[in-house]
């Protein structure tokens, strides 16, 4: 066996037998006094070990609800899971009891929430909040757990970690709070990290720092990373694959390079055009006209058709199938092939 063959064989044996996480045909409803809102309508995606999957879409598209359902923290009621499957390393999570779900949270899967100030407890020091889970889940002594908390703050590049570990969340800046949240999420060495809008309300330079940090940690630890955001610009350099959601559905899926090079759905096109560009300085920023649909009353046909500049009569009558376009690409648009073949 040559050195190349041996390396290939080793790589193959190290490769996971299947995806780290699989979400398949997931349906979730919110049952309210005003009616039933179908928040997720057949969402399917997967994440491999060491991969970054970006989930894009406007507020209300179902990105965070999918993440909450994966983590087992969806508010039930009003939320009701009406169908689908979520498998972590082949284990069906929707059939697991609460004790098993609690065991997996933090240990195997962890989540960074978009508002770190609300997610952190204001009456305890940051160090205490990180150390507490190590004491409860790992059985560490108070001293060892606090030392580990210092190491974690240092790993996420918080300066003077030995001192900052004794401070309260309100004493941290927005960017530093987000780093502390990342440290807390990584404390139990999860294999899958879900980051829900991790750069919300941060300035551009801090956004870039947080994204670089998450990417570095993913590579160092070999984690799977689900990055939830509404901003295509944020994920341009870190995502391996991207799924785009609209009105509780996935409307496009592609590797990052292909999607940026040539979007296969008009909604993705609109998101791309709305990214600020230096070469268009002084010009009016393009926007997607109208508003996302009310999920209590989604329009017939393609949910995007009232806002779509390419819509035709059939778009208001027929729900487009989510079909493959080749080379790992898929789109839920009647005219996807036409979009893909344009110059």
Tens digit of pLDDT for each residue in 43-76? 999 999 999 999 999 888 999 999 999 999 999 8
23 within 8 A of 212, measured Cβ to Cβ:
no
Structure tokens of 156?
Answer: 């996420």
Q: Tell whether 295 is covered by a domain.
A: yes
Q: Strands of 21-32's sheet, edge to edge?
A: 35-47, 21-32, 79-88, 91-92
Residue 9 or residue 93, greater confidence: 93
Q: Is residue 91 scored above 90 in pLDDT?
A: yes
Distance separating alpha carbons of residues 233 and 135, to the nearest angstrom: 39
Q: Tell whether 296 is covered by a domain.
A: yes
Of 266, 259, 242, the C-alpha closest to 339 is 266
Q: Is residue 248 scored above 80 in pLDDT?
A: yes
Helix, strand or coil, per DSSP, at residue 31: strand
Distance separating alpha carbons of residues 122 and 107, to the nearest angstrom: 24
Cα dist. 120→69, 170, 174, 226 in Å? 21, 10, 12, 21
Mean residue pLDDT across the chain: 88
Q: Tell whether 337 is covered by a domain.
A: yes
Cis before 78 (ω within 30): yes
Structure tokens of 48?
Answer: 């491999």
Residue 17, pLDDT score:
63
Cα dist. 53→12, 14, 159 in Å? 22, 21, 29
Distance separating alpha carbons of residues 244 and 166, to the nearest angstrom: 41
DSSP 189: -
In three state form, how does the secondary structure of 214-271 look? Answer: HHHHHHHHCCEEEEEECCHHHHCCCCCEEEEEECCEEEEEEEHHHHHHCCCCHHHHHH
By residue count, the chain amounts to 343
Q: Tell whether 235 is covered by a domain.
A: no
Q: Is residue 155 scored above 70 in pLDDT?
A: yes
How far out from the chain centre does Cα 7 lie? Answer: 32
Distance separating alpha carbons of residues 244 and 25, to the nearest angstrom: 15
Residue 328 — very low, low, confident or very high, per pLDDT cuts 50/70/90?
confident
Residue 343 — very low, low, confident or very high, per pLDDT cuts 50/70/90?
low
Distance separating alpha carbons of residues 211 and 238, to the nearest angstrom: 8
Summarize pLDDT for 282-293 with one digit per residue, the tens: 777 788 888 999
Name all contacts of 99-103 with Cβ < 8 Å and 24+ positions apart: 101/72
Residue 115 — very low, low, confident or very high, per pLDDT cuts 50/70/90?
confident
Domain count for the chain = 1
Q: Tell whether 92 is covered by a domain.
A: no
Q: Tell whether 288 is covered by a domain.
A: yes
Q: Tell whether 308 is covered by a domain.
A: yes
* Torsional sign, CA 278, 284, 288, 292: positive
Q: Which domain holds residue 291?
A: 253-277+284-342
Helix axis angle for 174-186 and 204-221, nearest 10°, is 10
Lowest mean pLDDT among 115-119, 184-188, 268-272: 115-119
Pairing of β 241-246 and β 52-56? parallel
Q: Tell whether 297 is covered by a domain.
A: yes
């Amino acid at each position: 066996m040559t050195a190349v063959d041996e390396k290939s064989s080793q790589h193959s044996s190290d490769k996971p037998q299947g995806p780290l996480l699989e979400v398949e045909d997931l349906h979730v409803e919110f049952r309210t006094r005003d009616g039933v809102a179908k928040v997720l309508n057949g969402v399917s995606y997967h994440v491999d070990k060491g991969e970054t999957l970006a989930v894009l879409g406007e507020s209300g598209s179902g990105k965070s609800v999918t993440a909450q359902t994966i983590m087992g923290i969806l508010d039930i009621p009003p939320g009701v899971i009406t169908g689908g499957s979520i498998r972590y390393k082949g284990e069906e999570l929707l059939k697991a009891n609460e004790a098993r779900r609690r065991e997996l949270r933090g240990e195997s899967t962890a989540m960074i929430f978009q508002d770190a100030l609300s997610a952190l407890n204001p009456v305890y020091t940051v160090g205490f909040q990180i150390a507490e889970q190590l004491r409860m889940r790992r059985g560490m002594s108070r001293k060892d757990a606090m030392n580990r908390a210092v190491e974690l703050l240092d790993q996420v590049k918080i300066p003077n970690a030995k001192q900052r570990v004794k401070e309260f969340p309100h004493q941290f800046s927005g960017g530093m709070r987000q780093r502390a949240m990342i440290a807390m999420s990584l404390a139990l060495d999860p294999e899958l990290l879900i980051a829900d809008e991790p750069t919300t309300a941060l300035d551009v330079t801090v956004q870039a720092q947080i994204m670089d940090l998450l990417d570095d940690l993913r590579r160092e630890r070999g984690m799977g990373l689900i990055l939830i955001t509404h901003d295509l610009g944020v994920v341009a350099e870190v995502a391996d694959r991207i799924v785009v959601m609209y009105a509780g559905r996935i409307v496009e899926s592609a590797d990052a390079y292909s999607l940026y090079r040539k979007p296969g759905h008009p909604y993705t096109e609109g998101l791309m055009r709305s990214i600020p560009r230096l070469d268009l300085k002084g010009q009016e920023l393009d926007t997607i006209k109208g508003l996302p649909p009310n999920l209590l009353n989604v329009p017939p046909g393609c949910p995007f058709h009232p806002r779509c500049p390419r819509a035709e009569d059939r778009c208001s009558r027929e729900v487009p199938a989510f079909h493959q376009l080749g080379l790992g690409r898929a789109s839920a648009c009647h005219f996807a092939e036409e979009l893909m073949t344009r110059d």
